[in-house]
Amino acid sequence: MGEAPYVLKMDGISKEYFGNRVLDNVSLSVKPGEIHALMGENGAGKSTLMNILFGMPVIHNTGGFTGTIEIDGEPVKIDSPQKAMELGIGMVHQEFMLIPGFTVTENIKVGREITQPTVASHIFGKSLEKLDTKAMAKDARKALDTIGLNIEEYVLVKGLPVGYMQFIEIAREIDKKGVRLLIFDEPTAVLTESEAARLLDTMRVIASKGIAIIFITHRLDEVIEVTDSITVLRDGQFIAKAQTKDTSAVKIAEMMIGRKVEKLFDDDKPDTRTLSDDDVILSLRNLKVDMPGEKVRDVSLNVRRGEVFGIGGLAGQGKLGIPNGIMGLCPAEGEVIFDGKPLDLKKLGEALRLGIAFVSEDRRGVGLLLDDSIEQNIVFSAMQVNGKFLKNYGIAKLYDGKAGRAHANEMIRELDIRCTGPTQAAGSLSGGNQQKVCIARALTLSPKLLIVSEPTRGIDIGAKKLVIELLAKLNREQGMTVIMVSSELTELRSLCDRIAIVSEGVVHRIMRPDDSDAAFGLAMSGAKMEGGAEQ
């Protein structure tokens, strides 16, 4: 009997979260000493698959999964991260799991310190054994030398450059006994270019020692450069497994994105809009937004009056930061000119006052007063911002119930909100109808510019279509300028005139909706190889 050909073999893995199928019959196999890329868009199921492999509690708290996992040909049951570690699976995290106040040695050896018995440990048990700092330092040195990291093992992590931290994490993982499979979860996301190149070198060194690597990334160029084989997932489905040398960045991009583009609405009416590059309604110059997890580094773009402008990109790249920064919901810097007037980003509510309405991606958190009635939800922004639906009694302004009710009824009819009446609580509506209430409130402000963020998140396909049609109608019939931020390329491409793809906090490219799938895939991956085929 020789060695098993695969160090890891996952077969027929399916997983449901609350009836929502996120993985469907996916398989993954990795050979010893191989660097294997796991590719896919956000929501393709990569992290769920890795959570299953690592035995994370989130999997087992939500009903487990089906399918088999084999390590070195042996079927195994991984029900906790500890079990995964015992089996020789290590994970290099995207956010550093390091302790700044500890030395490099202490970080590498955390939880696995080498100890010597003492008098007290004979009586009270192993936890009172003394640390053998010399042996620990020796081990740490060895691990650091393996990956070629030239730092002293006794310095504190606190003072080190960010780029080193990833390498200390790697040193910690390879210091573990019997490690045979390492998972790198987007390791290059926080590194500079030269650091990333060194990381790839290090991965090769580790792989040459017979340790298999699963490499999760969205940077296609890195995949082509370093990996031996790839597995592509899309929408929880297994799409393809291929040898890297038999494929190309364009092909991978196509596999990741490639779906039949179904138009979400029928654009049969003739387009009577006149768009001009000179008539700019919103102009962003060097916008920086500090939104946690969606940082915008430097965005400049122009939105023409009357167009539908799309902003797309992968989660975490900063597309959501743009509208939240403009509205003043997150700390932002830079120049924003709206309708010829500069907008003060520091002043909350300034954007609303100037006539920009915003439908937030966080519908239940920011978008709605869940326990209040539909009527209240529709009118409260306009009451606050424009002073509508108020009767002035001299000493106090009171709510004009009659006007508000009439307006709510009109909106319910116009947007076809399915409800028992304007007094129903907004929280009890379905997702699609909640979204319509949000849009109704935005429209009540009579805005010049409507920004919708993730308008179809968490609503079913029928309602999706209605929302998209509504946006199209507002744009085509009323001439309202719309900015649509969405992670779903399909809906951006079916409605927008232009689509800006945001990657790593900057606008990577501005695309036309009829550009090829591969071009979109490459742009979303932030691949630095444009200039060749397109332009």
- Name the site residues for other proteins (rule: CB under 8 A): 81-82, 85, 97-102, 106, 110-113, 115, 118-122, 126-131, 162, 190, 192-194, 290, 297, 505
> Which residue, among 258, 185, 160, 175, has the nearest Cα to 38 in the 3D structure?
185
Closest approach of other proteins to the CB of residue 110, in Å: 4
Of the pair 73, 117, the CB lying nearest other proteins is at: 117
C-alpha neighbours within 13 Å on the C-beta side of residue 396: 3
Cα(472)–Cα(425) distance, rounded to whole angstroms?
Answer: 28
Of the pair 317, 433, the CB lying nearest other proteins is at: 317
How do beta strands 229-234 and 237-243 pair?
Answer: antiparallel
Of the pair 101, 349, the CB lying nearest other proteins is at: 101
- Tell me the H-state helices in 127-282: 133-146, 162-175, 193-208, 220-226, 249-257
Of the pair 19, 159, the CB lying nearest other proteins is at: 159
Closest approach of other proteins to the CB of residue 384, in Å: 30
Plot region of 100 (φ>0 → left; ψ -120 to 50 → alpha; else → beta) = alpha
Closest approach of other proteins to the CB of residue 213, in Å: 19
Of the pair 1, 119, the CB lying nearest other proteins is at: 119
Cα(521)–Cα(248) distance, rounded to whole angstroms?
Answer: 12
Q: How far is CA 52 from the centre of its chain?
A: 19
Of the pair 86, 372, the CB lying nearest other proteins is at: 86
Residue for token digits 């958190």?
365
Of the pair 91, 378, the CB lying nearest other proteins is at: 91
DSSP state of 425: B
Closest approach of other proteins to the CB of residue 127, in Å: 4
Nearby residues of 62 by Cβ (< 8 Å), 6 or more positions away: 17, 18
> Which residue, among 355, 348, 316, has the nearest Cα to 332 in the 3D structure?
348
For residue 97, the SS3 value is coil
Cα(308)–Cα(386) distance, rounded to whole angstroms?
Answer: 25
Cα(86)–Cα(327) distance, rounded to whole angstroms?
Answer: 49
Closest approach of other proteins to the CB of residue 96, in Å: 9
Q: Is residue 422 a contact partner of residue 412, using CB atoms and an 8 Å limit?
A: yes
Closest approach of other proteins to the CB of residue 209, in Å: 23
Closest approach of other proteins to the CB of residue 113, in Å: 5
Closest approach of other proteins to the CB of residue 116, in Å: 10
Of the pair 70, 290, the CB lying nearest other proteins is at: 290
Of the pair 25, 115, the CB lying nearest other proteins is at: 115
Closest approach of other proteins to the CB of residue 365, in Å: 22
Of the pair 56, 249, the CB lying nearest other proteins is at: 56
Closest approach of other proteins to the CB of residue 193, in Å: 6
Nearby residues of 257 by Cβ (< 8 Å), 6 or more positions away: 41, 489, 517, 518, 520, 521, 524
For residue 33, the SS3 value is coil
> For residue 448, which phi and psi values (nearest 5 degrees)?
-90, -25
